[in-house]
A and B are shown apart, each in its own frame.
Chain A
Amino acid sequence: MKGNETFERNNPASVFVYYICVVAPVMFTMNPVIITLSLVGSVFSSFIGQERIGVRFHIYMLILFAIMTAANPIFYHNGETVLFVMNDNPITLEATIYGTVSAAAVISVLYRSRSFTLYMTSDRLLYLFSILSSKAALILTMALRYAPLYARHARRVADAQRAAGLYKERNMIDDIVGGGRVFSATATWALEYGIVTAASMEARGYGVGRRTRYSPYAFKHADIVLTATSLLLLAVIITAGAGGSFDFTFYPRIVAPPATVLTSAAYTAYGILSFLPAILTVIEVVRWKYLMQKI
């Protein structure tokens, strides 16, 4: 029952919708509240939902964040509040804050991408593709199969040639010529046995009529809830954003938009959206603990 990872048991389509909804606001606004929520939410979710993200990634992100935060005030000198002067250039509070916010935006999107790629295995990606075009998905799945197949065959050819004493292998030129022959043999092999695959496809009725699409992913109740929640929350954010409630001015002086009910609602909505993977994981863990007691 317990998934190893957030979204593991969700339909890829609903997860895809979620990621679009959570990343889109960050792309279109520089509102510090939204971006802070996004950063904290994405990092937090990556810690409790996806153990596969290694320590190294977090360290890289930290370094990148520091560099990007520092870069803006060093190169841009707009803003009224001068903090200090470095090499005759003023470092301003406004530029520093702008740098921090934009770095946070980039880092949070990188965290989301990382967790997205971890989730989107070739199977799930293909499923998304096949919604668009069944044929394109089939070509993609065949390509995914052939790349490692050819690499392995090339290795076998190289081994065979070497152990047959047909390689000279004493200098670089022989190496290159040998490599070329391995490549050509592998290509011939691929073409030759591609015929077998084609025959096997035809023998199993490829092209006799309209193909349908099968996937092991069903669109379940949980997916409807996830998709509806994501879209609903995004709608609140868009309503607020379209009304100008997020407009945040950095230069020359920081001016925050007035706090209205709509802005608070939008912040709350984005907060939920951003922490959704973490929330779902926690619900899952609690439910699992509860169910475990019954066993």
Chain B
Amino acid sequence: MEILNAKNLSFTYPDEDTPALSNVTFSVSEGEFVAVCGATGSGKSTLLSLLKREVAPMGKMTGEIFYRSTPTSSMSPRDLAFRIGYVTQRPEQQIVTDKVWHELSFALENMGLPSDEIRRRVAEVACFFGIEDLFDRRTDELSGGQKQLLNLAAVVATYPDILLLDEPTAQLDPIAASDFITMLKKLNSELSMTIIIADHRLEEIIPASDSLLVLGSGHIIAFGKTRAIASSLRSNPHMLTCMPAAVRIYSELANDDDEDKIECPLTVREGRDYILRCFRQDIKMRKMPEYTHKKSEALSFRNVYLRYSRDSEDVLRALSLTVYESELFCIVGGNGSGKTTALLAASGLRKFYAGNIKIFGRDIRSYKNGSLYSGCLVMLPQDVDTLFLCSTVEKELRDAGTDADSLPFKFPKAILDRHPYNISGGEKQLLGLAKLLATHPRLLLLDEPTKGLDAWYKTKIGNVLRSLTASGITVVIVTHDIEFAAAYADRCALFFRGSVVSSDTPQRFFAENSFYTTSAARMVRGIYDGAITADDVIALCRANGQRNENKQSALTGVT
């Protein structure tokens, strides 16, 4: 049964000429899991917020939205609020109250339910989400992942029919994101809640979804069953970059005459199956130039110990690590493994109590009076917003003593008049980088620069960082994004419990790991060696060529 239906929906923001959405028509049936994808600025967020009237932006809207064939414009505020749930990407700011139990009951109090009913529902939801242990905790003590689960639970407590999620996992680490998506699957399959989700983390969402809605500059490019749409994106290389590795590999390699025989793989398992069935394995490895680092050290840790207070545990334990000049060095590892703390220590913001840190061969403690930060080292924090002090992007650049034209990369000029908080995540990263580069650093420390970015911006940031290392700047990145590390790093290090357990070039590093590695590497584990990105796999498959017997069996299958 149809539950949500948009007819000829168009929307234009005030003071803008081009519509953010034009003529969007689609319908969602009850219990459907819809993934909405598209590049930044394609209108995903606008579409989702229009579907939830309370959070709809100001602007000119035409067309109509129907909820169970009633136009939403004629629905009561009560029904609208509690039938349709909405979760956005900022875990922290969506939380209203100071205690977990109060947050869970907030919407139910708004519904005017009696106390006993609220008590029952809160208990029920806390059980379903497995957050009973957190019940009495303060909301600001929770991790980002727990906060986002709490936001979801608080919305689900009202028993909505539809959940709208606008990049809910953008600010989460991969484990927390995966937990969140698992919870969505559970809500969908066990309670048949209709889910409409826009997110960049498609590797897991696409296999879970029933249908895929692809948006491009405000238009629907494609809408239909996930597998069919995924395989039809072959003609659209721009959209393809954000698809799971299996889809990208299939789309590059499948011939037109194969298309009707082998379905488009979506998961790692299906992708592996596809490669095993269709490609020979004569050439095991691609010839890659061996990476050699420079002799001079940019940053080195020697047996560094750090803890935040006297009676807490060590966050860094005997950390030893060397980064050489003009390297692009990626530090990966789980939550709380001390990655960010290592960056804070290297940037002089947190004091370590034993060992030593050298910056360009000099002890960090010998840099006095901020000389560490002038022309030497800068850090881009995880929350880039904390860097911005001015009311427009242009002022922000001027404040740092630079402008859009004198940067080593192309800066999007269209955003110069906007407030730095009101630009996309990718643009924020570029602005942050621009501000930092104005101090002419030799060592750049970045904390999660790709968090919440779409594939296009990741490529952009990756290329900018590559060009910086080519010009002699050393870049150290702390990231959860192993796909990014695999594609751009010169060397990678794995953090575990406050020290480095292994460091190597990404080819060896990711090919040796079985769990903590890219999906492309998992897909071809044991089939090909040293292939860690979808591009590596595609190149190897091409070099090997298709299996003949497969062709024949396929032919016999047809006859």
* Cβ-Cβ contact count across A and B, 8 Å cutoff: 174
Partner of A205, one of B82, B88, B374, B388: B82
Partner of B369, one of A134, A164, A170, A192: A170
Question: Is A193 in contact with chain B by the CB < 8 A criterion?
Answer: yes
Residues 387-409 of B, flagged 1 when their CB comes within 8 A of A and 0 if not, give: 11100000000011000000000
Q: How far is the CA of A141 from the CA of B102 in the complex (A)?
A: 9
CB-CB contacts below 8 Å: A159-179 with B: 159-170
Question: Is B52 in contact with chain A by the CB < 8 A criterion?
Answer: yes
Partner of B386, one of A156, A168, A211: A156
Q: How far is the CA of A148 from the CA of B77 in the complex (A)?
A: 33
Residues 373-391 of B, flagged 1 when their CB comes within 8 A of A and 0 if not, give: 1100111110101111100
How close is A133's CB to chain B, nearest CB, in angstroms? Answer: 13
Question: Is A74 in contact with chain B by the CB < 8 A criterion?
Answer: no
Q: How far is the CA of A215 from the CA of B109 in the complex (A)?
A: 10
Question: Is A181 in contact with chain B by the CB < 8 A criterion?
Answer: yes
Q: How far is the CA of A181 from the CA of B396 in the complex (A)?
A: 13
- Segment from B111-119, B214-222, B237-245, B545-553 that makes contact with A: B111-119
Residues A164 and B387 in contact, CB atoms below 8 Å apart: yes
- A148 / chain B contacts, CB cutoff of 8 Å: 140
CB-CB contacts below 8 Å: B499-558 with A: none
Partner of A214, one of B92, B118, B369: B118
- B113 / chain A contacts, CB cutoff of 8 Å: 212, 214
Question: Is A122 in contact with chain B by the CB < 8 A criterion?
Answer: yes
Name B106's closest neighbour in chain A (CB-CB).
A204
Partner of B439, one of A164, A170, A201: A164
Question: Is A113 in contact with chain B by the CB < 8 A criterion?
Answer: no
Residues 134-173 of A, flagged 1 when their CB comes within 8 A of B and 0 if not, give: 1000100110110011001100110111111111111000
Interface size, chain A (Cβ < 8 Å): 54
Residues A214 and B115 in contact, CB atoms below 8 Å apart: yes
Question: Is B86 in contact with chain A by the CB < 8 A criterion?
Answer: yes
- A197 / chain B contacts, CB cutoff of 8 Å: 93-96
Question: Is B363 in contact with chain A by the CB < 8 A criterion?
Answer: no
Residues A165 and B381 in contact, CB atoms below 8 Å apart: no
Given A200-B88, A200-B94, A208-B78, is A163 in contact with B349 using a C-beta cutoff of 8 Å?
A: yes
Given A163-B347, A201-B96, is A211 in contact with B387 using a C-beta cutoff of 8 Å?
A: no
Given A164-B435, A206-B110, is A181 in contact with B387 using a C-beta cutoff of 8 Å?
A: no
Question: Is A56 in contact with chain B by the CB < 8 A criterion?
Answer: no
Question: Is B99 in contact with chain A by the CB < 8 A criterion?
Answer: yes
Partner of B378, one of A153, A163, A185: A163
Name B76's closest neighbour in chain A (CB-CB).
A208
- B421 / chain A contacts, CB cutoff of 8 Å: 188-189, 192
- A294 / chain B contacts, CB cutoff of 8 Å: none
- A161 / chain B contacts, CB cutoff of 8 Å: 386-387, 389
CB-CB contacts below 8 Å: A99-153 with B: 122-123, 134, 138, 141-142, 144-145, 148-149, 152-153
Q: How far is the CA of A209 from the CA of B88 in the complex (A)?
A: 24
Q: How far is the CA of A160 from the CA of B114 in the complex (A)?
A: 47
Name A170's closest neighbour in chain B (CB-CB).
B369
Name B123's closest neighbour in chain A (CB-CB).
A216
Partner of B389, one of A181, A202, A213: A181
Residues A212 and B93 in contact, CB atoms below 8 Å apart: no
How close is B438's CB to chain A, nearest CB, in angstroms? Answer: 9
Residues B370 and A169 in contact, CB atoms below 8 Å apart: yes
Residues B369 and A169 in contact, CB atoms below 8 Å apart: yes
How close is B73's CB to chain A, nearest CB, in angstroms? Answer: 16
Question: Is A59 in contact with chain B by the CB < 8 A criterion?
Answer: no
Residues A165 and B374 in contact, CB atoms below 8 Å apart: yes
Residues B109 and A212 in contact, CB atoms below 8 Å apart: yes
Residues A141 and B383 in contact, CB atoms below 8 Å apart: no
- A164 / chain B contacts, CB cutoff of 8 Å: 373, 378-380, 387, 435-436, 439
Question: Is A196 in contact with chain B by the CB < 8 A criterion?
Answer: yes
Residues A141 and B112 in contact, CB atoms below 8 Å apart: no
Name A158's closest neighbour in chain B (CB-CB).
B386
Question: Is B139 in contact with chain A by the CB < 8 A criterion?
Answer: yes
Question: Is B258 in contact with chain A by the CB < 8 A criterion?
Answer: no
Given A200-B96, A205-B158, is A160 in contact with B370 using a C-beta cutoff of 8 Å?
A: no
Residues A160 and B99 in contact, CB atoms below 8 Å apart: no
CB-CB contacts below 8 Å: B322-377 with A: 344, 347-349, 369-370, 373-374, 377
Name B421's closest neighbour in chain A (CB-CB).
A192
CB-CB contacts below 8 Å: B68-106 with A: 77-78, 81-82, 85-86, 88, 90, 92-99, 101-102, 105-106
Q: How far is the CA of A160 from the CA of B436 in the complex (A)?
A: 11
- B105 / chain A contacts, CB cutoff of 8 Å: 214
How close is B522's CB to chain A, nearest CB, in angstroms? Answer: 35
- B82 / chain A contacts, CB cutoff of 8 Å: 205
Name A140's closest neighbour in chain B (CB-CB).
B98
Residues B349 and A212 in contact, CB atoms below 8 Å apart: no
Question: Is A89 in contact with chain B by the CB < 8 A criterion?
Answer: no
Question: Is B55 in contact with chain A by the CB < 8 A criterion?
Answer: yes
Question: Is A221 in contact with chain B by the CB < 8 A criterion?
Answer: no
Residues B373 and A163 in contact, CB atoms below 8 Å apart: yes
Residues B378 and A145 in contact, CB atoms below 8 Å apart: no
Question: Is A203 in contact with chain B by the CB < 8 A criterion?
Answer: yes
Question: Is B174 in contact with chain A by the CB < 8 A criterion?
Answer: no
Residues A165 and B115 in contact, CB atoms below 8 Å apart: no
Question: Is B441 in contact with chain A by the CB < 8 A criterion?
Answer: yes
Q: How far is the CA of A214 from the CA of B82 in the complex (A)?
A: 18
- B476 / chain A contacts, CB cutoff of 8 Å: none
Partner of A216, one of B94, B96, B101, B381: B101
Q: How far is the CA of A127 from the CA of B379 in the complex (A)?
A: 44
Question: Is A207 in contact with chain B by the CB < 8 A criterion?
Answer: yes
Question: Is B264 in contact with chain A by the CB < 8 A criterion?
Answer: no
Question: Is A199 in contact with chain B by the CB < 8 A criterion?
Answer: yes
Residues 104-140 of B, flagged 1 when their CB comes within 8 A of A and 0 if not, give: 0111111111110011001000000000000010011
How close is A209's CB to chain B, nearest CB, in angstroms? Answer: 5
Given A157-B386, A204-B158, is A199 in contact with B115 using a C-beta cutoff of 8 Å?
A: no
Closest 5 CB pairs of A and B: A205-B81, A165-B373, A196-B93, A145-B98, A160-B386
Could you list 26 A-B pairs, sorted by A, with CB under 8 Å? A123-B136, A141-B98, A141-B99, A145-B98, A149-B140, A160-B387, A162-B370, A163-B379, A164-B378, A165-B374, A185-B388, A189-B385, A193-B90, A196-B90, A196-B93, A200-B96, A202-B54, A203-B81, A204-B81, A204-B110, A208-B77, A208-B78, A208-B81, A212-B109, A212-B115, A213-B115
